[in-house]
Structure 1
């Protein structure tokens, strides 16, 4: 998920688009924009880059292990003599 700083920056950009005559409402709008953005992003069920990287590393290790096991099985099958159970 986006971190709080990114959400704050996006909310601030939205507030900057508000006409200057509504300056007194800018803080309220900023808070509301922040809350709406945070809720919307939570519903998307996003993961952080750190979580993604951890899962990618786990997947890479799992793939390597599967490949190693497949290699060992192939070696064992190659060494087995026909007719043996």
Structure 2
């Protein structure tokens, strides 16, 4: 049984070595390089950067809404003063 196990391990190692030296390894490296270049040109952002910007946008939107409400109140007060 040990001899059969050793034979399987040797076969697996030989197949792994063959694949590592085959054109498939070169194709994988070339595809990775092409994809990396393509992603670099797309101006992609990380999830962390996206989340930071989404949080900033939400806080900015809340502040704009608050200021809009204040402007509305001031306009109403001004209209009330003009009506007198």
Q: TM-score, normalised by structure 1?
A: 0.64
Structure 1, gaps ≥5 residues long: 1-21
* 1:39 aligned onto 2:41: no
For residues 76 and 45 of structure 1, the distance between their equivalents in structure 2, rounded to whole angstroms, comes to: 43
Structure 2, gaps ≥5 residues long: 1-17
For residues 41 and 67 of structure 1, the distance between their equivalents in structure 2, rounded to whole angstroms, comes to: 36
Larger RCO (alpha carbons 8 Å, 6+ apart): 1
Aligned residues: 62
Larger Rg: 2
Q: Which residue of 1 aligns with 2:10?
A: none
- Richer in helix (by share): 2
Q: CA deviation at 1:26?
A: 2.1
